[in-house]
Each structure stands twice: as C-alpha cells, then as structure tokens.
Structure 1
Amino acid sequence: MHLYIKNMVCNRCVTAVRNELTQLGHSVGEVNLGEAEIITEPTADQLKTIGASLKKLGLELIEDRKSRIIEQVKNEIVYLVHHSGDVLNTSLSFLLADKLQYDYTYLSNLFSEVEGTTIEKYYIVQRIEKVKELLVYDELSLAQIANMLGYSSAAYLSSQFKKVTGLTPTFYKSIKETKRRNIDEL
C-alpha cells in the first residue's frame, strides 16, 4: 500500500518517515519524496496512529486524489530544483505531464485552483530559494549559479531574483554575510 505524505521536501524527511513507520512496526518498502510504501495494508486504527506520528514531524497523510496530485507536482519540482542536479532540458509542462501521466492543462488548472498560484510561479519560487542557498554558500559566481539552474543569463536570474524577493542577489548576499559574521563572533 502506498501512503501519500504532504510536506516531505528533503532526504531527511524520507529518513524520518522510514524510521517512524519502522518504529510503529510496519514493514516499509520504498520511501520517496511524498510517498511511502508499506508492505502490509494498515488497519484504520493503524492509519490514524501513522497520521498522528507524522503530524509530530510536521508531515501529513494525504487522503484525497486531488491533493495527492498537487503534492506530486510539488515533489517533482522540489526534486528537480533542489536534489537532481540536472538542468531542465525540456519544458516543465512536458516533464510533469510525462512523470505524472496527466495532461498538463489538467495539472495546471488543478494546481492553480487548489494552491492559488500557477505551477510556473511555484517553480520560479523554488529556483529562487535554491539561488539564495547557493549565494549564502558563496562558492559560485552568479553566472555559474545561473548556468547551473538553467537560466539564460546572470542578468535574467538577477532580474527574476529581484522580482521575487525585492532585493538584488548582491544585496541579499551582503545581508546574509553580515548575519553569518555575527553568528561566528559568538
């Protein structure tokens, strides 16, 4: 049986879910962002216990089909931006339609209806979050970050960054460096 889980965004979440299900006495199969396989189907009471345990971790069981689809879209985007290391060589619409086996128009309309934003805006926000992370590490130039994340240029990345955050990448980086120095001084 597959459990669909909301708010799984990183490998630590995958490990935490695997550990939690194992501690609850379940035989666990594959665990990925947004879902976990339990070998034997849990009872209704066991599902309630699983739900309560996951809630303590900041996660949530997803029961309805539409919410599962939305979470799958989010997980694919989070994986693409934060974990895969791949540059998107095709359109996001084609990638999602292919991975989830739904027509992209359906996915887009459902996502917008439920989330109140578009898939594209969600993707942009995730990319900007990755840019912020890379800027704080201070190991790559803005041009290298732009290339790594598939932006056509550092100028376009900078423009999109400012549109989303209200700050230039350089200013954002200087703010974070100041905060980092203060922590180091403690």
Structure 2
Amino acid sequence: MKLYIKYMVSLRCKMMVEEELKKLGVRYGVVDLGMVETPEDLTPAQRQQLKENLLRSGLELLDDTKSILIEKIKNVITELIHYSDELPKVNYSDYISEKLDYDYTYLSNIFSEVKGITIQQFIIIHKIERVKELLLYNDLNLTEIAYKMHYSSVAHLSNQFKKITGLSPTFYKQLKEKRKSNLENM
C-alpha cells in the first residue's frame, strides 16, 4: 500500500517519517518524494495514530486524491529544480506528465483549482528561489546561472527575477552581501 505524506523533500523530514513508522511498528519500504510504501495496509488505529504523530511534527498524512496529486506535482518540480543538476531536455509540461503518468491538462487544471496558481507560475517561483541560492552560495555569474537554469538569456532571467522579488539579481546579491558584512562587523 502507498501512503502519501506532505513534507518537504529533505533528509530530515524523511528521517522523521521513518521514525514515526518505526514507533508504530509499521514495516515500510521506500520513503521518497512524499510517498511511503508499506507491504500491508495499516489498521484504522495505526493510520489515525500515524496521522496524529505526523501532525505534531509538522507533517501531514494525505487522504484525498487531489491533495495527493498536488503534492506529487510539487515534489516533482521541487526535486527537479532544487536537487537536480540537469534540467530536463523536454519542456516542463511533458516532463511532469511523463513522470506522473497523467495528461498535463488534467494535472494543470487540478493544480490551478486547488493552489490558485498555475503549474508554470509555481515553476517560475521555484526557479527564482534556486537562482537566489545560486547567487548567494555559488561561484557562478549571472550568465552561467541563466544557462544552468535554462533561461533564454540573462535579460529574461533578470526580468523574471525582478517581477517576482522586486529587485534585480545584482542588487539582491549586493544587498545580501551587505547584510552579511554588517553581521560580521557586529
């Protein structure tokens, strides 16, 4: 049986989920991308206890199919943008559709209905978050970042960055460096 748990794609969250399963004596196989595979169904009591324990840890056991699908979409995008060195050679819609084995229009409609933004807007927000990380913690220049993140040009990246953050990438980096310098001088 597969259980779907809403959590950030991180080692810490994965370990928290595994710990809760062990406490309940639930055997499990894979814990990955918000999904846990168990060889047998949980009893209603185990399911309820797991739900309560996860909630105390800030995690959520998902029950309805729409929520599960939304989390799968978000996890695919998050893993792709934040944890993969190589963005897909195909466009995002084809990649997501292939990865989840659903028609993209169906996925897009459900995502927009539940989240209030499009999948494309969600992707852009996450790409800009990744660009922020690269600006602050990496030795890449803006041209290299634009190439790495598959922007058509530095201008396109800069325009999208400014639209989302209100700042140019260069100003954002200078602002963070100035704050860091001020903290070090205290």
- Normalising by the residue count of structure 2, what TM-score does the alignment of the two structures yield? 0.93
2: distance between equivalents of 1:105 and 1:143?
33
Partner of 1:137: 137
Number of residue pairs the alignment of both structures matches:
186
Secondary structure (helix, strand or coil) at the match of 1:139 reads coil
What letter is aligned with 1:91?
Answer: N
Once the 2 structures are TM-superposed, how far is the Cα of residue 28 of structure 1 from its aligned partner?
A: 1.9
Secondary structure (helix, strand or coil) at the match of 2:174 reads helix
Secondary structure (helix, strand or coil) at the match of 1:28 reads coil
Once the 2 structures are TM-superposed, how far is the Cα of residue 185 of structure 1 from its aligned partner?
A: 4.0
What letter is aligned with 1:153?
Answer: S
2: distance between equivalents of 1:91 and 1:143?
21
2: distance between equivalents of 1:182 and 1:15?
36
1: distance between equivalents of 2:58 and 2:70?
18
Partner of 1:16: 16
1:116 aligns with 2:120: no
Indicate the larger mover: 96-105 or 23-32. Answer: 23-32
Indicate the larger mover: 150-159 or 124-133. Answer: 150-159
2: distance between equivalents of 1:86 and 1:15?
26
Once the 2 structures are TM-superposed, how far is the Cα of residue 20 of structure 1 from its aligned partner?
A: 2.4
Partner of 2:63: 63
1: distance between equivalents of 2:138 and 2:90?
29
2: distance between equivalents of 1:180 and 1:106?
45
5+ long unaligned stretches in structure 1: none
2: distance between equivalents of 1:121 and 1:7?
21
What letter is aligned with 2:170?
Answer: T
Identical amino acids, percent of aligned pairs? 48
Once the 2 structures are TM-superposed, how far is the Cα of residue 79 of structure 1 from its aligned partner?
A: 0.7
2: distance between equivalents of 1:83 and 1:93?
18
- Normalising by the residue count of structure 1, what TM-score does the alignment of the two structures yield? 0.93
Once the 2 structures are TM-superposed, how far is the Cα of residue 145 of structure 1 from its aligned partner?
A: 1.1
1:92 aligns with 2:92: yes
Partner of 1:165: 165
5+ long unaligned stretches in structure 2: none
1:179 aligns with 2:179: yes
Secondary structure (helix, strand or coil) at the match of 1:89 reads coil
2: distance between equivalents of 1:83 and 1:165?
22
What letter is aligned with 2:94?
Answer: F
Secondary structure (helix, strand or coil) at the match of 1:41 reads coil
Secondary structure (helix, strand or coil) at the match of 1:159 reads helix
1: distance between equivalents of 2:139 and 2:169?
14
Partner of 1:149: 149
